[in-house]
Chains A and B, each alone.
Chain A
Amino acid sequence: MITIDNLTFRYGKKPLFDNLNLSLKEGNIYGLLGMNGAGKTTLLKVLSGQLFRKEGDADVLGFDPGIRHPEMLREIFYLPEEFFLPRTSVEVYLKLYSPFYERFNKEEFEGYCEIFQLDLTQKLSDYSFGQKKKFLLAFGLASGTKLLILDEPTNGLDIPSKSQFRKTVASAITPERSFLISTHQVRDMENLIDPIVILHQGKVILNNTLEEVSSRIRMEKTLGEPAPSESILYSEKVPGGYYSIRKAASPSEESALDLEVLFNGVVTDPMGIGALIGEERA
């Protein structure tokens, strides 16, 4: 659904992406992770045609995103980190904006709003930040687009809303649809995002399913610091002991994964862990 080859992008003279490659398929909830300033939002904006790439090829749902073809935009719903809602009622908002999305389903929309406990008789400008976000999410999920881009969707949501968010995303995914969720709040998304895409220093250094990850590496928590050995790829101190990443002895030796530790490990040692997970199976 999305293929990017050798993407280069700069703000001014400072290059942000340098020969970045990325391929995303239908039917997945991708988690886009990266440090502050790694360019997650910029990447999302390039993919959705809001920023133009300098070099490289990009194909988003069969279109060059820079052209901003309506057929492509009709299939993308993008919830930005900061958003703006007009001072209208819910009814007027739906009347004005839902016709742009042919498959928009009002019953679905109302269903999501019920899950999110939104009062549809209120004015949009009277909603709190979290309610506005949930309103837009409900609108996007009901719009039937093939691609949903969510930038830090759980920021500003209260604890029950985070759970509602996970439920709705899990229920909204279909084989034709994909989510691309950028986040720092890995804990909010654990068990929801899969595959994991890690953006670091201008490149995608990991784009793998959790099954692929856990068949290549093994995570362990030990009380004492693990003795340095060749099989230990990374270790860090956590409350109550140490987390370490080892090379998996065999693909069947799967372990639980901690996304934060995985992220730290891959970012610390992209050539080691990232390459080990990403390499093609013989």
Chain B
Amino acid sequence: MQYENRPIYIQIADYLYEMILSGKWTDGERVPSIREMAVQMEVNPNTMTRTYGLLQEQGVIFNKRGIGYFAADKARDMTLRLKREEFIHSELPDFFKKMEFLGMTPEELDELFNRYKESNHEDK
């Protein structure tokens, strides 16, 4: 098992991003309450409050007083941008390092990526 060395509230945030990217939570629509999510994920509601706080800070969700939490109008775009940034900052450097180490060029990568896309389309 891979060890995820990130605090639990960030791990939960990842799960919520996934909900948005997969379309289970739609832009502008109401999302489950902190309590509902805490029950669903069997975690301390305080932890879930922290996660919601993080998403709220990033503008992915917002709180309508007395009604509940809603996904932002551009929640999907924002999440995509956040995840891209995260990918560029935390995963790409390692990837590039490995490419360099193995002597691979961007052209090779381009070709591999195209082939991957084609095979994926054929599958569909």
A residues contacting B by CB (< 8 A) are 28-29, 163, 166-167, 170-171, 173, 191-194, 209-211, 214, 219-221, 254-257
Contacts and interface: CB of A to CB of B under 8 A. Distances in A.
A170 B5 contact: no
A255 B6 contact: yes
Interface in B94-115: none
Nearest to B1: A240
B7 interface: yes
A194 B4 contact: no
Given A254-B7, A255-B5, 18 more contacts: A28-B46, A167-B40, A170-B39, A171-B38, A191-B8, A191-B41, A192-B42, A192-B43, A194-B44, A194-B47, A209-B46, A211-B50, A221-B3, A255-B6, A256-B5, A256-B8, A256-B11, A257-B8
Contacts of B39: 167, 170-171
Q: Interface size bucket, B side? A: 20 to 34
Nearest to B8: A191
Given A167-B39, A170-B39, A256-B11, A193 B5 contact: no
Report which residue of B6, B7, B42 has the largest number of chain A beta carbons within 10 angstroms of its beta carbon. Answer: B42
A170 B7 contact: no
A221 B5 contact: yes
A255 B7 contact: yes
Interface of B: 3-8, 10-11, 35, 38-47, 50
B5 A163 contact: no
A194 B42 contact: no
Given A211-B50, A256-B8, A256-B11, A170 B3 contact: no
Which 7 A-B pairs have CB atoms at the shortest separation, nearest pair first? A166-B42, A191-B43, A254-B7, A171-B39, A170-B38, A194-B44, A221-B3
Given A170-B39, A171-B35, A256 B46 contact: no
Nearest to A194: B44
Contact of A170 (B8, B45, B50): B45
A257 B8 CA distance: 8
Provide the main secondary structure of the chain A interface.
mixed
A191 B5 contact: no
A210 B49 CA distance: 13
Contacts of B5: 219-221, 255-256
B47 to A, nearest CB: 7
A191 B47 contact: yes
B4 to A, nearest CB: 6
29 contacts: A29-B44, A167-B39, A167-B40, A170-B38, A170-B44, A170-B45, A171-B38, A171-B39, A173-B44, A173-B45, A191-B41, A191-B43, A191-B44, A191-B47, A192-B42, A192-B43, A194-B44, A209-B46, A210-B7, A210-B8, A211-B50, A221-B5, A254-B10, A255-B5, A255-B7, A256-B3, A256-B4, A256-B11, A257-B8
B45 to A, nearest CB: 6
B51 to A, nearest CB: 11
Given A171-B35, A171-B39, A211-B50, A256 B7 contact: yes
